[in-house]
Amino acid sequence: MTKFFYQFYQSVAVMLVVSAFFAGCMPERLATKTNNPNYVGGPLTLTRARDIAQTASQQLAPQGGADEKLTVVLDDSIVNLLACRHPQWRAAAATQLGALGKPQAVDALLLGVEDENATVREKSVEALGWIGDKTAAVRVAGAISDESSDVRIAAATALGRLGDRQTLSALIAGLKDSDARVRTACTTSLGQMRDGTAAEPLTAVLQNDSAPGVRSAAAGALGLIKDPRSTPALVAALKDRDALVRYQVIGAIEAVGDPKTVAPLSTLLKDPDETVRTRAKRAIDNMKN
């Protein structure tokens, strides 16, 4: 009897996800309220359907073990959803595949990077970043020039996670994007990659970008790269008009660690911003010790 119920719930679990594809990928819901006393309400979304299926598999599998075959069927069904005619479901499928981190989904997600819908492209790029397969890096880098700023942000962020040096030029080009959010994402990812090649362009951003948030991110990135060539620009940026930028610059100078910078740091002990003064004192103490 237990085996019968297991097989029954296994079939139901698979159909929860598979039906999304073969029944037209209904964007609003796959199921509505039933007489089931365990119903918790709300539309049966892709993620919720998969969670229910996995829970059923784990609870009803023989010897208490999860059914690997069922898991594979569910994962493959989510990949199939990337071909659904409804962009909402294509985007949801991309997000779920990124959360699962399955390398076998890379090829399908690369198709999503070329999708006609901007949200699908964004979620596909994000997913590729989370999966972390560097073979996708060059294609993701191409999305830095996408017409949608959200896609460009997602691409820049994903490249930071992928960490492929081949994509440095795309991120450096993104430092001149018209959208400050894109420039910030590119700046942050260049810092995460810690490649000295980016020190000079990041220095230019610190000196010239009109957005305080971008300049602040540039200072943080330079602190991660720790290239001594950036020291003069960092010292000059101690006079930046924005307190957050000055705060980040102090951290970058401390990270580079040039003893000659203690004197210019000391000028910030009288900064009008209390957090800047406190950060300057801590940096000076650390560098002296």
Q: What is the pLDDT of residues 273-285, one digit of tens each?
A: 999 999 999 999 9
| 45 and 141, same domain (yes or no) | no
* CA contacts within 13 A on the Cβ side of 118: 11
Q: How many domains, in total, are found in the chain? A: 3
| 213 and 225, same domain (yes or no) | yes
Any idea what the Cα angle at residue 84 is, between residues 68 and 49, rounded to 5°?
40
| 104 and 172, same domain (yes or no) | yes
Q: Give per-residue pLDDT as tens, 74-96.
A: 566 677 767 788 899 889 889 88
Q: 3-class SS at 175?
A: coil
| 98 and 189, same domain (yes or no) | yes
**Local structure of residue 84 (DSSP, 8 states):** -
Find the distance separating the first CA and the last CA of the chain, reported in whole Å. 72
Model pTM?
0.78
Q: Which range (50-54, 116-120, 132-136, 205-209) has the least confidence? A: 50-54
pLDDT at 189: 98
Domain CATH for 165: 1.25.10.10
| 92 and 176, same domain (yes or no) | yes
pLDDT at 26: 42
Q: Which domain does 93 fall in, by range?
A: 86-193
Residue linked to tokens 């996708």:
136
Choosing from 63, 80, 97, the residue where a domain stops is 80
Choosing from 160, 193, 226, the residue where a domain stops is 193
| 94 and 123, same domain (yes or no) | yes
Ranges of H-type helices in 101-198:
106-113, 118-131, 137-142, 149-162, 168-174, 180-193
* CA contacts within 13 A on the Cβ side of 44: 20
pLDDT at 51: 57
| 272 and 219, same domain (yes or no) | yes
Q: Phi-psi region for residue 115, left (φ > 0), alpha (ψ -120 to 50) or beta?
A: beta
CA–CA dist 247, 153 (Å, integer): 25
Choosing from 38, 57, 80, the residue where a domain stops is 80
Residue 68: pLDDT band by 50, 70, 90 thresholds? low
